[in-house]
Amino acid sequence: MSRAQHTRISIAIVGAVGVVFAVGAATASASPSVDVHGGETITARVSGEKPGQSCRITATGIDMPWHAVAQDGTVSLDSGPVRQGRHDARVVCENPQVGASSAHTVGHEQDVFTGHWAPAFEFLQHHRLEFLTPRR
């Protein structure tokens, strides 16, 4: 292989890798993500959401206010007091100027646990041992 061919192949590989990184970065920042946890309350940390949006945790028996997303695209949420047990929780965000028609779920609905045994139940669930956790 000649030096010119080797140089062209190297440039093509570097260019392809650059495209993969650019597409990956665009994809990674294109959709917001959420980290939801149980415990004494249900907490969530949203990142990558549009600044100015409002978000809240929704689940049966939880009626929390909307919280604004900061300029860095993050918001920390806390449900406040909730009944002890398993909850199907999700985070919903919306544009407050548009209202309910702009509402969208961030991530997906998750089972979270509250109360004294919440850390143990979340450990079991994280390790795919949900069958050992209480149903309701």
What confidence tens digit (pLDDT) does each residue in 34-73 have? 999 999 999 999 999 999 999 999 999 898 999 999 999 9
Q: How confident is the model at residue 116 (pLDDT cuts 50, 70, 90)?
A: confident
Among 61, 53, 31, 56, CA closest to 44 = 56
What is the per-residue pLDDT for 25? Answer: 47
Q: Strand 54-59 vs strand 85-94: parallel, antiparallel, or unpaired?
A: antiparallel
DSSP string, 81-122: S--SEEEEEEEEEE-TTT-GGG-EEEEEEEEEEESTTHHHHH
What is the pTM for the complete model shown? 0.70
pLDDT at site 13: 53
Exposed, middle or buried, 103 (CB in 10 Å: 0-12/13-18/19+)?
middle
